[in-house]
Amino acid sequence: MATGSNICMDISESQFEDTGILTTNILENVQHSKPSNASSVKSGISSTNGVHELLECPVCTKSMFPPIHQCPNGHTLCSNCKLRVHNHCPTCRYEMGNIRCLALEKVAESLELPCKYQNHGCLDVFPYYSKLKHEQLCRFRPYNCPYAGSECPVTGDIPTLVAHLKNDHKVDMHDGCTFNHRYVKSNPQEVENATWMLTVFNCFGQHFCLHFEAFLSGAAPVYMAFLRFMGDDNDAKNFSYSLEVGGNGRKLLWQGVPRSIRDSHKKVRDSYDGLVIHRNMALFFSGGNRQELKLRVTGRIWKEQ
């Protein structure tokens, strides 16, 4: 019990009786809760349904983690929702006080549950208190839409996102591992933040997103091109890419590893992990009277052996 806790002061004799009843019911439910091996996962899930329902917060319906609170009548609530309901039980309206349901917390330790992304391919089973941490990093969790022009809320697997980018965002889709793109902007001196249309390449059976945009690096206006891989970081490391831009007999070359779309577009951009071109140099490459941006970016993608 944590130092300074008021649990003992807040639990009366009658509350001990309620807690004892709750403990007995929980223990009866949990006796058959653990699946003995991977082949018995389904039966384990079925037998833990009752206990899992007890661990579901009645307000937010999310799984509860310590500290789990209960009112004098034994109704439980997660710590976040205890604040939301102003310390009053949403079921019986009694004041919650500072009673913790230690029995339910202890029972949760004995549970083993499948990852919530099991329908996406994750077949692992985890202790209750480790499950949430795993799901935050599970390789089968959905990806966020990589479109950079807006904060798109769509998530899904890679085939779903490829179709979404094509049909909803109308991005340019190309087959092949080499590219030659021209980026044009009139009055570039007046533009400090701009995002050009995303381009998606189908290459080596994978999909890659080519980004190009203008933004301020401190007080200096720059342009940046970079590539993101539509998949996990470990798979992205199997590929490399190069970008080249030039004009007037000069050129800049960038070579690197595409970043996974697990990393947000902004995170990649702000880390300068790509071809960065200062505006003055970009206008020099563009030629003419420096009143119009005309950059040609070429590149290729290859698979590391």
pLDDT tier for residue 11 given thresholds of 50, 70 and 90 = very low
Cα angle: 221, vertex 222, 226; to 5 degrees:
155
Residues linked to residue 225 through DSSP beta bridges, in sequence order: 212, 275
Residue 187 covered by a domain: yes
Share of the chain above pLDDT 70, in %: 83
Residue 114, H or E segment: strand 112-114
Tell me: do 269 and 195 sit in the same domain: yes
Q: Which of 55, 31, 57 is nearest to 128 (CA)?
A: 55
Q: Strands (DSSP E) along 176-291, which ranges? A: 178-186, 194-195, 199-203, 206-217, 220-229, 239-247, 250-256, 259-260, 275-278
Handedness of CA 15, 28, 75, 131 (dihedral sign): positive
Tell me: do 101 and 212 sit in the same domain: no
- Domain at 231, CATH number: 2.60.210.10
Tell me: do 206 and 286 sit in the same domain: yes
Total number of domains in the chain: 2
Tell me: do 102 and 158 sit in the same domain: no
Tell me: do 160 and 293 sit in the same domain: yes
Write out pLDDT tens, residues 172-182: 999 999 999 99
- Domain at 124, CATH number: 3.30.40.10
Residue 36 covered by a domain: no
Write out pLDDT tens, residues 235-273: 999 999 999 999 888 899 999 999 999 999 899 999 999
pLDDT tier for residue 305 given thresholds of 50, 70 and 90 = confident
Tell me: do 64 and 175 sit in the same domain: no
Contacts of 80 (CB under 8 A, 6+ apart): 60
Mean pLDDT of the chain: 83
Tell me: do 196 and 175 sit in the same domain: yes
Question: 73: how many CB neighbours lie within 10 A of its CB?
Answer: 13
Write down the pTM of the prediction.
0.71
Distances (CA, A) of 177 to 16, 181, 199: 69, 13, 12
Write out pLDDT tens, residues 275-287: 999 999 999 998 8
Q: Which among 136, 164, 179 is the end of a domain?
A: 136
- What residue numbers bound the domain in which 79 lies? 50-136
